């Protein structure tokens, strides 16, 4: 079990599950994309959204694993509408192809959940020669969001239902490099520290959501953008550190959230009426939370936006 804190203002706590925070919510008629839906909290997010009636498109790198997850969801929920589409966030051309295929499918898009991620990898470059954690956790999602925005705006206008963009960040955003985002050293192998690079990418998730929220508000678009910390969860995110992975396997059931609890805040932000109109905020345990001052740095958010636009051209 998890060492739980009491309920917050939302009525939910760190022990709340994704099913509990969406109890009684009807998502019929909504379409959601969930990245990284073939494992961990991505799978549970997809399952619970489908359970509530949403049409879920699972954006996955491993198509075979994605199809297995889809079959498992449909077996449990025969009425579930779930599709699997291939997308590799480490490849900008793969992200472009996914977005192009989705946009030309004619499907609406109400909810975009930027969930996929890697953690504390050794120094590696993506297919586009971008440091892997920054590429996967931030740049790929930034490009995906940008390419899907027009479809989301059209959907919000036609359906009169507010669109929602959810970035899965982490409390690790508190521990980036000293300068926060290393704009001039993104690919610096000599100064690379795997956990600081992870913190940098998670800080980028928050800054992206905040700047996106500001821009959408400025444009008068009926779409919100928020970020969240899912909790420390026993998933394969720790696979690149054998010592920590071993500890997780031994202590996970006692000290960490399970996947059902880990997906709760994501599902809360995707569906709950309590957060209608709330944008540019950071959540944890299905409640409003606080970032570091860096996580609220508007100028750094603007700089990151321009930097990533150039990076993903």
CA distance 48 to 265: 12
β-pair partners for 57: 33, 83
Q: Are 14 and 257 in contact (CB under 8 A)?
A: yes
β-pair partners for 111: 32, 164
Q: Which two tokens stand for residue 23?
A: 């109890």
Query: How many Cα neighbours within 13 Å face the side chain of 273?
Result: 5
Active site residue 192: yes
Q: Is the dihedral of CA 265, 266, 271, 275 positive or negative?
A: positive
CA distance 253 to 246: 13
Task: Out of 192, 198, 268, 282, pick the active-site residue.
Answer: 192
| Residues tagged active-site | 192
């Amino acid at each position: 079990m998890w060492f739980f804190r009491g309920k917050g203002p939302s009525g939910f706590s760190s022990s709340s599950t994704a099913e509990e925070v969406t109890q009684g919510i009807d998502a019929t008629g909504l379409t959601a994309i969930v990245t990284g839906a073939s494992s961990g909290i991505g799978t549970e997010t997809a399952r619970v959204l489908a359970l509530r009636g949403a049409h879920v498109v699972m954006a996955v790198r491993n198509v075979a694993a994605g199809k297995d997850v889809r079959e498992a969801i449909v077996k449990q929920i025969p009425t579930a509408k779930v599709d699997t589409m291939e997308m590799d966030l480490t490849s900008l051309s793969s992200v472009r192809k996914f977005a192009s295929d989705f946009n030309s499918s004619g499907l609406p898009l109400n909810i975009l959940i930027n969930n996929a991620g890697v953690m504390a990898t050794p120094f590696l470059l993506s297919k586009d020669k971008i440091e892997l954690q920054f590429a996967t956790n931030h740049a790929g999602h930034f490009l995906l969001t940008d390419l899907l925005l027009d479809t989301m705006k059209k959907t919000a206008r036609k359906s009169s239902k507010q669109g929602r963009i959810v970035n899965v960040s982490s409390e690790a955003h508190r521990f980036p490099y000293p300068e926060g985002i290393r704009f001039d050293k993104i690919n610096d192998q000599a100064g690379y520290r795997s956990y600081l690079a992870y913190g940098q990418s998670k800080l980028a998730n928050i800054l992206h959501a905040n700047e996106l929220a500001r821009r959408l508000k400025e444009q008068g678009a009926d779409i919100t953008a928020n970020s969240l910390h899912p909790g420390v969860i026993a998933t394969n995110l720790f696979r690149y550190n054998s010592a920590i992975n071993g500890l997780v396997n031994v202590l996970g059931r006692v000290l960490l959230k399970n996947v059902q609890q880990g997906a709760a805040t994501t599902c809360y932000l995707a569906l709950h009426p309590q957060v209608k109109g709330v944008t540019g905020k950071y959540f944890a345990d299905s409640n409003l939370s606080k970032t570091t001052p860096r996580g609220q740095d508007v100028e750094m958010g603007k700089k990151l936006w321009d930097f990533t636009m150039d990076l993903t051209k």
